[in-house]
Structure formats: structure tokens, C-alpha cells
Structure 1
Amino acid sequence: MLRFFKINDPFRLIGILVLLLVYSGIYYFILQAPMIQPELIWMLAGERLSEGLHMYKDIVDDTGPLSVGTYWIIHLIFGRSLFIYKFLAAILIVFQVIYINALFIRYKSFEENTYIPAVVMLVLFHLSFDLLTLSPSLMGGTFLIMALGQLFSQTVLQKEGSDSVLLVGMFGGIAVLFHFPLIVFLPFLIVAGITISGFTFRQFILSLFGYFLPIFLCALYYFWIDSLPEFVLEYLFATRIVDVYAHVSLFYILIAFALPLVLAMIGYFVGLLFKMITVNQQKQRQLIFLYLIFALFSILLTNRQTPYQFLIILPALTYFITQIFIYLSNKRALAIFSVLLFVGVPIAGYSWLILGLQTEQLSTYIVETNSEHEISKGKSIVVLGDDIAYYKHASLATSYLNHKLSARILTDFDDYADMASVYQQFLIEKPELVIDQEGLFANLLVRIPLLAEIYQEKDTGVYYLKK
């Protein structure tokens, strides 16, 4: 298989597509990879926007504005379709794979022009089943890779033109609007641009202008609809000060990424010991290494502890792992590493999913419905808690989508404006069912007696709208 992708022939992309279908097909058709909670959150946000509501103003959640705009368009065209999420994610994955491979070929990152980087990155995307969905991390990471490509052009060609420098900043700014943790790449662009790509002062200012332009335009939109404070608080700050959704333990995530991390370390030392590289290639190595460091820092800003948050390290892992298959000449060693990559990495991902489901390590991450969730079918509801499987066959009423962010509002009894807003939302939308998993609604009924007149608790923590 390795020999097949070593040839610089565009028809090798057919092999890439075949591998994508095989590896992904095992997740979907054999292992029956379940829906994850964030996917349901994104669908609900898109559904609310399709009703003419506005993000942050009418929906309490911290999904990026461009990401939720994408989910809105998807819902308008396809409704709640998990298949479309997977299909569009596959298109972005193929784009990233092709772009990274073309980047390494165009700027001579390796002496051989091959499709090995493409196939390496494709395999890495199958480390976990949630890397294959249309997450904000995947969408934002796509623009971040394009920004990296513009930095490569500055490193290799030493361009004096302004278009590439401007695009570096713009792609970085757009990435942030998809996925906030990618904001750590602002210092990356600054450090890499000045120390490695050799930005002049004029180029530095131009890149900063390009970076903040899309963010400013987005903030201007929310200012225009009178929800700038909500945008700033919920998207930029709130999720960094409330509790993180620890869907998957860090130890469990490290298990999933252990093998590719080891292969990347081996590839790094293979590149150092077995190959003399050019000055431009040395700069590219520094750029990728710096990229990896900042990518790891971005994990600290994530609001949900999940494997898909680590998507942005895949380009760096791809670069280092590729060095194994290009610089090593020992056939036996290449055969061993090929098996570890093409067989070991996917099997590790499949085993990780099976083990997680059997040991209930993923119980707070996946959407798994049972008989108790049937009460919400076809109703407009509010879930005040972490078990959001009730939404799978129901619609969201009121703005309280993100439980942890909503709790900040629903427990702020001293703020009369918040309490008035809460009462108005329940009075206007009148959710047919309130699932109160943490006693928030019970306290609200005490503070707002008017709500107690229209809701009745029939089961523990389950409130029905009185008819």
C-alpha cells in the first residue's frame, strides 16, 4: 500500500477515497457509531435559528457564530440530518487531506513528491469516531490550515506582496469565529510570522488587520441586533469561566492518541538523524513544531473535553509521521511502521469506541435514548441538566440550550431583569415539558409563583404544562 501512494499521480486520490469509505464504513455500518451530545446541540441551535431567532440573544450556547450559521443553513435545507453532518465532514476531510499534501509538494517540504502525507492524515482522522462529524473544530481547523499554507508561502518564497500576508490574518480570524479556542493562533501567527516567515512591520500590521476584520464585522452584526453583550459574554468569556463538559477523560483521550503521538516522535527524530534538509525545509519544520505547541495550548480553552477538540494537531502529526516513510530505507522497518499506521491506528480507534461503550466511559458523551425519554417525543421541552437525550425526538422551547451557561441565568435570583426575562420566555413559549435534573426549575417556581400556577410536577423532576 505504501508503494502505491509513493507515486506522484493525482489518480492516487481514488485510493484515498476508497480508504475513507472503508475506514469510515466500519465506524458507521459495523460498529454503529452513536450520535454524540454536541451533534444534538448543534442541530437544536440550527433549528432555533431557522425559526428566525438569533444566536446568543435568543439561544444560550457558546457554539461559534459561523459554525451555528452553517448548522442553520443545513437545517433549512435538510432538517435534522445526521447523515448530512457526516457527509459534509467527509468533504472537509478530503479537502484538508488534499490541501496538506499539495502544500508539502508545492513548497518542497520533502524531496519526494508523493501522496504519503495525504494517506497518513486520512488514517489519523479515524483515531476516533467523533473526528468524522461536522464539528466547529473541523470547520475552523480547515481555515487554520489555509492560514498555515499562506505562512508556508512566506517562508519559502519570501514574498513581498501583501495578498498572502492579508490572507494569513483573515483565515486565522475566520477560524476563531468557527471555534473560539483557535484564538491561541493569534500569538502563533505573530511569533511565526516575525521569527520564521520574516514579516516586516508593514506585513505584521496588515496581518493583524486581516485577523481582526472578520471578528469586527461579526461583532458589528451583533451590535446591530442589540446582542453584542451576549456575544461577548457567552462566546468569548462565559465558557472559559464555567465548568467544562468533561465528556471524555483526558486519560481516555490520551489512550486514543497514544500510537500516532509515538509515531510522530519517531518521525521527528528520523528527520533529525537521517536527513540533511535545506534552509527552507528547516524553516518549515520550525513552523510545524511551533504550530503543534500552540495547537496543544488551544485544548485548554475548549468548553467540551472530547477527542474532536484535538483535530487541529493532525497536520503536525502528519508532517512528522510522513518523515518515517520518506526518509527510512530499511524495508523491514517500513513494513512494521506501515502496519502500525494503516492497521494499528484504525483498530485503536475502533477498540476505543467499543471499550468506551462497554465500560460506559462515553455515557455522558453519546445520545442514548431509552423508555424514560419517550415522554418528550413530539413535544416542545426544556432540559435543565446534562442528559439531553430527551431532545432527540423533541424540540427546544426557550433559549436555555447550554445547561451550564443557562444555570448562570436561572439561579441569578438577585437580578430582576434576568428573572423577568425567564418568566417572559416560559410564559410566551410555554414548553410542554420541563425536565429538571438538578432542581433549578423547582427553585424558580418558588421565586416566581406565577410559573407554579401553569406547571405541575407529575414525576420527580418532570413538570408538565397545565391544560
Structure 2
Amino acid sequence: MSGIYYWVLQAPMTQPELIWMLAGERLSSGFHMYQDVVDDTGPLSAGVYWIIHLVFGKNILMYKLIAALIILFQVAYVNTLFIQYRSFEENTYIPAVVMIVLFHLSFDFLTISPSLMGGTFIVLALGQLFSQTVLQKEGSDSVLLVGVFGGIATCFHFPLVIFLPFLIVSGIVVSGFSFNQFVLSLVGYLLPIALCTLYYFWMDALPEFIFEYFFATRIIDVYPHVSLKDILVLFALPIFLSLTGYFVGIWFKMITVNQQKQRQLIIIFLIFAVFSIFLTNRRTPYQWIILIPALTYFISQIFIYLTQAKILNTFAVILFLGVPLVGYTWLAYQKSSGKLDNYAIVHQTKHEFTRGKRILVLGDDIAYYKKASLATSYLNSKLSNRILKDFDDYADMAMVYQEFLLERPEVIIDEESVFENLIQRIPQLEKLYQKTEPHIYLLK
């Protein structure tokens, strides 16, 4: 199914993917995240992109292959979870099959996004909550791991911070955490965040880390890569199937107390997963990937609890053919209508002159970076503007001039006239660059 996206429909590289690559490339050159790379990618996600670039270079194929391994792990773990804790009366691989199908709903589910990596640790935390529900453990290991996995997920992808109240609510209300267990879980949650904070304190980049990762893009306009209406159209069929599965589970099956607690956990999980989407700074389908474990649970109930062959066959066709077909059709329509231009990297002839050069793009058209490298720290244009446009702060202006003087980008694409205004504030920059075309500056 994945091959249709790439070999038939020729799914493009997305803007976030290119940004992750550029961040990994710059980190592999000895720079530090947030201090030398102005962006809001999670610290652990940035570390993964750094390692990928060190080993494989600027290779989009590796993003797909590593993502496939993570997806297979999630699928195997979730299915094992349902079997181990008797979520359904019979041991079955139906949830695994359903989950694989759901991962093919959108082409950007199949890349190694911070949402995918962070969501994996949320799933691991969910597994520890399942163990508390079924086994009623008195030990502290699983309680601690619930918090640790949640904290690690937040360090991968900030919107997953919303799962802190999920862990608290589900731990106390459903899994029956005592006060001591709650405190232990909270300490475990804060531990990974504290370690990241300590690292950036040592790197003298703590203010940048706090502002860029935790606050900046939550108060700056989101990147509307895909409209909310288009995303809802994409998810309409899985949501319909999930609602059907939920009512099938209520009407056609009496469940045990432990299964009832697990259902409550999944419902609470789904509610907080939806809330996490509102914290995202890029409106894209892959931000919704965190919904897949909950959708899998409810959709699986259709095929486990229903017994009428004709109805089962109908739902099987809807799921196994309908869901991927919706994804394929959605991508084809987005490409043909031009709506994907705000999300995809559309590399045109005008971008070719930056090939092999160290450049800086001050604007939204980051396709110039596809065959070039980032010079200076200003990767995220919206975050960078708070520095580059802060003309009244002499410390910022001195730092900007020093950075341009040291790194000297060969080409500057100034789509928003940021550099033009900067030259007026720092006339020394005019000695370094020559304006050759509207919004394009070349190093002299």
C-alpha cells in the first residue's frame, strides 16, 4: 500500500521534512539546537535527525524506512497489549491489521515525524496503565515508567504535553493510583524534561530552549499547510468506523470489569489526543497520527463482535479498500488542485541556482533549500523574525551582524524584505552583499 503513494502518486517531500533534514544537517556540523538552529523541533526529535544525517546524509528514503520500523513496532506492541491484557475474549491479530491500514490513511503518516516518535512513547505509557488496570500491581516500576514515557514523548513533540493530565486522570480514576504512586509518576514525567533543560543550561542555551520549544510557536500563528476541512474529510471514514465499533461493543458484548476499565482508558486517551492537536503549530494530517491506537481499538470491535457474514464482508471492504483509497484520492486531489503547494516542496527552475550553496531563506518558500544547505541559525522564519526585526535591541543586532559576518551565506532570498530593512539598520552588511534581483542578495 505504501508503494502506491510513492511510485504511483509520487507523494512529494513536505516542508516539515525538509526542515527536519536541515536541522539534522546543521547539528551534524557541530552546532547546537535552539542556540544555533532557530526552530521549534523537539530536542529528542532533533537528536534523531542529527543521527540520521550523520549516518545516511540528506536522504529522504531513510526517513521512510525508519518510520516503517517504528510503525511496525507500534503495531506489534498494541496488538500484544490487547492480547496480554485480554482486551478482547479471543486472541486475535485483527487490531494489528486494522492499525496497518489506518497508517496508510495519509502519505505523511509514513515518515519519521516528531508526532510518530513521540506517539510511540505515549503508546508505551498506555501499556503501563493497562498493566496497572489488569494486574493491580503494588510495585513501583510500571508507575514510574508511565511518567518517564510521557516525559520522553513531550521531549519529542511538545503538543503531547497534553497527556500529562491524561496520565494523572487515568492513573487515579481508572488505574487506582495512590498518592505515592501519583507523585512517583509525576517525578518520572519531569525527569526527561529536567535532563533536557539541564543539557541546554550547560550549553548556555536555556532561554532559547524555553522560548522556542515551549512558548514561541504556541503564541505565533500556525502554519496552515492543509485546511481543517480537508483534514476532516480525510478522517471522516475512520471516525465513522470507530463510532460504529464503539456502539457495536456496547450493544453486542458484555465485557469484564478489566475490559471496562480498558475501554475507559481508551476513551480518555482519545479525548486528550484530540486536545493535543490544538497545540500543534503546523496544521497537517500527520499531527493526527496520535489518534490511531484509539481508532484501532474501536474499529477492531466490529470484526471481533459481529458475526453476520454479509455485514462483516461489507465492513471489511469499507476498511481495507475504502481507507487507503480515501488516502490515495485525497493526495491526488490535493496535488491536482494545487492545494498541496502550501505543504509540499515544489522544486522549480527558479530554485536551481542555489544548488550546492550555503543559503538563507527569509520567507515561506523553503524549496530553495532542497539542494542547498542552511547558513546561519535562522531556519524557522517566523521565529527568526523576532530577532531579525528587533531593531531596538542592540544586543540582538550585534549578534545578527556577527553571525552574518562569520557564516556569510552565499545567497539570501529575502521574500519578506527582512534583510532589506536589516541593511538599513546595519549598513556594514551592505558591504558584504549585492542585490541582483528583487528579494535576492548575493555575497560579493
SS in structure 1 opposite 2:335?
helix
Q: Which residue of 1 aligns with 2:398?
A: 420
Given residue 341 of structure 2, which amino acid in structure 1 is its aligned partner? Answer: S
Deviant stretches of 4+, over 3 Å: none
Q: Which residue of 2 aligns with 1:6?
A: none
Q: Which residue of 2 aligns with 1:224?
A: 202
Q: Which residue of 1 aligns with 2:154?
A: 176
Equivalent residues in 2 for 1:148-167 (5 A)? 148-167=126-145
Taking structure 1 as the reference length, the TM-score comes to 0.95
Given residue 403 of structure 1, which amino acid in structure 2 is its aligned partner? Answer: S
Q: Which residue of 1 aligns with 2:91?
A: 113
Equivalent residues in 2 for 1:443-458 (5 A)? 443-458=421-436
Q: Given the alignment, which residue of 72, 75, 82 partners 1:104?
A: 82
Q: Given the alignment, which residue of 60, 76, 83 partners 2:54?
A: 76
Q: Which residue of 2 aligns with 1:66?
A: 44
Given residue 102 of structure 2, which amino acid in structure 1 is its aligned partner? Answer: L
Distance between the aligned counterparts of 1:439 and 1:265, measured in 2?
Answer: 50
Q: Given the alignment, which residue of 353, 371, 374 partners 2:331?
A: 353
Distance between the aligned counterparts of 1:169 and 1:465, measured in 2?
Answer: 50
Q: Given the alignment, which residue of 304, 324, 338 partners 1:326?
A: 304
Q: Given the alignment, which residue of 321, 324, 339 partners 2:317?
A: 339
Q: Given the alignment, which residue of 118, 121, 125 partners 1:147?
A: 125
Q: Which residue of 2 aligns with 1:203?
A: 181
Distance between the aligned counterparts of 1:301 and 1:425, measured in 2?
Answer: 32
1:31 CA displacement: 1.1
Given residue 210 of structure 2, which amino acid in structure 1 is its aligned partner? Answer: V
Is 2:234 the partner of 1:247? Answer: no
Distance between the aligned counterparts of 2:315 and 2:419, measured in 1?
Answer: 56
Taking structure 2 as the reference length, the TM-score comes to 0.99
Given residue 91 of structure 1, which amino acid in structure 2 is its aligned partner? Answer: L
Distance between the aligned counterparts of 2:194 and 2:18, measured in 1?
Answer: 29
1:336 CA displacement: 0.7
Give 5+ residue unaligned stretches, structure 2. none
Q: Which residue of 2 aligns with 1:15?
A: none
1:206 CA displacement: 0.4
Distance between the aligned counterparts of 1:337 and 1:393, measured in 2?
Answer: 45
Given residue 267 of structure 1, which amino acid in structure 2 is its aligned partner? Answer: G
Given residue 194 of structure 1, which amino acid in structure 2 is its aligned partner? Answer: I
Is 2:53 the partner of 1:53? Answer: no
Contact in 2 for aligned 1:364/1:387 (Cα 8 Å): no
Equivalent residues in 2 for 1:386-425 (5 A)? 386-425=364-403
1:223-271 deviation digits (Å, cap 9, x = unpaired): 0111111100000111101111110001000111110000000100111
1:189-216 deviation digits (Å, cap 9, x = unpaired): 0000000000001100000010001110
Contact in 2 for aligned 1:46/1:73 (Cα 8 Å): yes
Q: Given the alignment, which residue of 11, 14, 18 partners 1:40?
A: 18
1:28 CA displacement: 1.3
Q: Which residue of 2 aligns with 1:188?
A: 166
Equivalent residues in 2 for 1:13-24 (5 A)? 23-24=1-2
Is 2:251 the partner of 1:273? Answer: yes
1:56 CA displacement: 0.2
Give 5+ residue unaligned stretches, structure 1. 1-22
Given residue 37 of structure 2, which amino acid in structure 1 is its aligned partner? Answer: I
Q: Given the alignment, which residue of 308, 326, 347 partners 1:369?
A: 347
> Which 10-residue stretch deviates more, 89-98 or 449-458?
449-458
Given residue 311 of structure 1, which amino acid in structure 2 is its aligned partner? Answer: I
Aligned CA RMSD, in angstroms, stands at 0.6
Distance between the aligned counterparts of 1:303 and 1:419, measured in 2?
Answer: 27
SS in structure 2 opposite 1:381?
strand
Q: Which residue of 2 aligns with 1:285?
A: 263
Is 2:419 the partner of 1:436? Answer: no
1:81-132 deviation digits (Å, cap 9, x = unpaired): 1111000000000000000000000000001111000010100001100000
Distance between the aligned counterparts of 2:385 and 2:36, measured in 1?
Answer: 15
Q: Which residue of 2 aligns with 1:16?
A: none
> Which 10-residue stretch deviates more, 404-413 or 173-182?
404-413
Distance between the aligned counterparts of 1:111 and 1:400, measured in 2?
Answer: 55
1:117-157 deviation digits (Å, cap 9, x = unpaired): 00101000011000000000000000110000000000111
Q: Which residue of 1 aligns with 2:191?
A: 213
Given residue 283 of structure 2, which amino acid in structure 1 is its aligned partner? Answer: Q
Distance between the aligned counterparts of 2:221 and 2:421, measured in 1?
Answer: 21
Distance between the aligned counterparts of 2:103 and 2:428, measured in 1?
Answer: 52
Distance between the aligned counterparts of 1:191 and 1:275, measured in 2?
Answer: 26
Distance between the aligned counterparts of 2:66 and 2:99, measured in 1?
Answer: 18
